[in-house]
A = this chain, B = another copy of it.
Amino acid sequence: MQCPFDIKPRWERRKDARPQELLAAALDLFVERGFASTRLEDVAKRAGVSKGTLYLYFTNKEELFKAVVRENIVPAIGEAEDAIAGFEGHSAELLRIVVYTWWDRLGATKASGIVKLVMAEANNFPDLAQFYREEVIVRASTMIGSMLARAVARGEFRPVDIPVTTQLLISPMLMLMMWKHSVGPCEQSALDPHTFLEAFIGMALNGLCAAPPVPAGGPAPIPGA
* A interface residue numbers (CB < 8 A to B): 32-34, 36-37, 89-90, 92-93, 96, 116, 118-124, 126, 129-130, 132-133, 137, 141, 156, 158, 161, 163-165, 167-168, 170-172, 174-175, 178, 181-183, 186-187, 189, 191, 195-196, 198-207, 209-216, 219-225
Contact call B167/A222, Cβ cutoff below 8 A: no
Chain A binding surface, main DSSP class: helix
The one of B89, B119, B124, B207 that contacts A33, using a Cβ cutoff of 8 Å: B124
**A90 cross-chain contacts in B, Cβ below 8 A:** 222-225
**A133 cross-chain contacts in B, Cβ below 8 A:** 183, 186-187
Knowing A124-B36, A223-B209 are in contact, say whether A167-B161 is a contact too (CB < 8 A): no
Knowing A161-B199, A163-B189, A171-B171 are in contact, say whether A33-B210 is a contact too (CB < 8 A): no
Residue of B nearest to A141 (CB): B189
Q: Once the chains are docked, how many angstroms separate the CA of A195 from the CA of B167?
A: 11
A-B contact pairs, 18 of them (CB 8 A): A33-B123, A34-B120, A90-B222, A93-B222, A96-B220, A116-B119, A123-B181, A161-B195, A163-B189, A167-B172, A168-B172, A168-B196, A168-B203, A171-B171, A201-B220, A202-B207, A210-B223, A211-B224
